[in-house]
Amino acid sequence: MVDVQPMKLVNPATALRRQRANCFELSTILASLLIGAGYDAYVVSGYAGQTTCNGDLSFDECPLLATVSPTTPPPATPTCVKYKARPAKELFSRYEKMMVAREHDEIRRRRESEIARELAEREASSPEC
């Protein structure tokens, strides 16, 4: 089996217009369509071992398990902050604040009137000496 690759490929538009292409040109057409649809596509030609084909990563070190040596100093924090993000403004409605204040005043007036009425009832019911 002799693996012969073409010396040059035709443009995908030319291959579509001719309606005739080899496997490399067809793979280029497919990659062009996939890239146009938003996928990350490549044309690869060559030999891959069994570990690559199976996605075997058992011999690679896991980067998540790598520990930072204790001799490494912590990263320095900048002392001078030239630009600083402003805190978000507290958005409020003056009308809503006014209405809440009115409700609290109304509740306070009702309590005071109830207390005054109870005092008046107690004074009226108590016998005078």
Which DSSP string corresponds to 60-96?
SPPTTSPPPPTTSPPPPPPS--SS-PPPPP----HHH
Q: Is the pLDDT of residue 54 over 80?
A: no
Percentage, residues of the chain above pLDDT 70? 85
Q: What is the pLDDT of residue 29?
A: 93
Q: Is residue 67 part of a domain?
A: no
Residue 72 forms part of a structural domain? no
Residues in Cβ contact with 5 at an 8 Å cutoff, skipping those fewer than 6 apart: 24, 45
Residue 55 placed within a domain: no
Q: Quick: pLDDT tens for 29-45.
A: 999 999 999 998 888 87
Q: Which residue has the higher pLDDT, 129 or 73?
A: 73
65 vs 25 pLDDT, higher one:
25
Q: How confident is the model at residue 124 (pLDDT cuts 50, 70, 90)?
A: confident
- Per-residue pLDDT, averaged over 76-94, amounts to 78
Whether 40 maps to a domain, the answer reads yes
Q: How confident is the model at residue 125 (pLDDT cuts 50, 70, 90)?
A: confident
Number of folded domains that form the chain = 2
Q: Is residue 3 part of a domain?
A: no
**59 domain residue, yes or no:** no
Residue 30 lies in a domain: yes
Q: Is 116 among the domain residues?
A: yes
Range of the domain at 106: 90-124
